[in-house]
Copies of this chain bind each other. A is one copy, B any other.
Amino acid sequence: MKVGIIGATGYGGNELYRLLSKHPHVKECILYTSSEAEKAYRDSYPHLTGISGESLTAINTAGIDSEVDVLFMASPPGAAAELLPEICMEKVKVIDLSGDLRLRDSKTYESWYKRKAADPAITRKAVYGLSELNKEAIRGASVISNPGCFPTAAILGLAPAVSGELIDESSIIIDAKTGVSGAGRKPGAGVHYAETNENFKIYKVNEHQHIPEIEQALLEMNSAVKPLTFQTHLVPMTRGIMTTIYAGAKSGSLKEWHDLYKEFYKDCYFVRVRPVGEFPSTKEVYGSNYCDIGIAFDERTGRITVVSVIDNLMKGAAGQAVQNFNLMNGFDETAGLEMAPLYP
């Protein structure tokens, strides 16, 4: 199978290359660029010396649909919205990691992203690729809208509780923490080492564009869900996301809550619900496609606290994209994704 990656020089694109270049069902990767055609890919990423022989290829929208079988778009916001209308989606399957297709409502998109929404005809066609929750639809999809990194962690952490209607739907608070690679490879004050190291920051307070994505997904499980609070913090580390989720429990005991989560994810290879009393840390999924979950119930307050962790570049981006690629093509869901976390 031939695959293409648009945006290969970004961190998401590079992580896709790491996975796809060793994938058992991928024969060739074409690496597309908007600006650096002909440049050797390893010049952007010297760690690929001796691994990548590819040069970057100019994007040719007219022909791209016959050059590859599946196209991964790890491009900056707006690029997918612009390119997709020119690509024939009967000929090529598309997995978009960029966020352009995630919100079904154009007005919501425009109000949170502060940019023009994609053509609703394309957005409607896109299946939301949260692999564990949407498996059947993903299998039949021609376009996948790959979830955001925070929404992946938050929605997996909330799905059993929300779909079971077991929490107060107006009480959801998500305190999210991410490593710096989530901000992308482009230099800027916000990712300067000296401003980020030995520092802990909050950012985009009440304004993160992942808020409507999380709410949209939860509302599909339970229409009683109310606007939720979601705050994001920058941790001095490269990879990893933790979401600490708080909600009022309608009832229950710790054992019931834990059983619910175990049962809900019992067939999900990549979701590991931890034993009662154990909580995951981000390094425990480093470099892997796992989402690990810990759950606590506090009798003093009647609240549950759910902790979910992922590697933002893996389950939060490229790993989940490959998982969806596997599902769409009838491969084993774990193909090319069997690596253990790198620890320590």
Contact check, A197 vs B206: say whether CB atoms are below 8 A apart: no
Tell me the complex Cα distance, A212–B13, Å: 42
Tell me the complex Cα distance, A61–B231, Å: 47
Contact check, A242 vs B187: say whether CB atoms are below 8 A apart: no
Contact check, A177 vs B193: say whether CB atoms are below 8 A apart: no
A309-344, CB under 8 A of B: which get 1 and which 0? 100000000000000000000000000001111111
A341 to chain B, nearest CB (A): 4
- Which residues from chain B contact A193 at a C-beta distance below 8 Å? 180, 191-193, 196-197, 236, 238
A258 to chain B, nearest CB (A): 13
A308 to chain B, nearest CB (A): 11
A182 to chain B, nearest CB (A): 9
Residues of chain A at the chain B interface (Cβ within 8 Å): 11, 14, 18, 21-22, 45-51, 173, 175, 177, 179-181, 185, 187-189, 191-203, 205-206, 226-229, 231, 233, 235-240, 242, 244, 246, 269, 272, 274, 278-287, 290, 292, 294, 296, 298, 300-301, 303, 305, 307, 309, 338-344
**22 A-B pairs, CB-CB below 8 angstroms?**
A46-B274, A173-B173, A179-B200, A180-B193, A181-B194, A191-B192, A192-B192, A194-B238, A194-B344, A195-B283, A198-B239, A198-B283, A199-B237, A199-B240, A205-B279, A205-B296, A206-B305, A229-B246, A229-B298, A233-B244, A235-B235, A287-B287
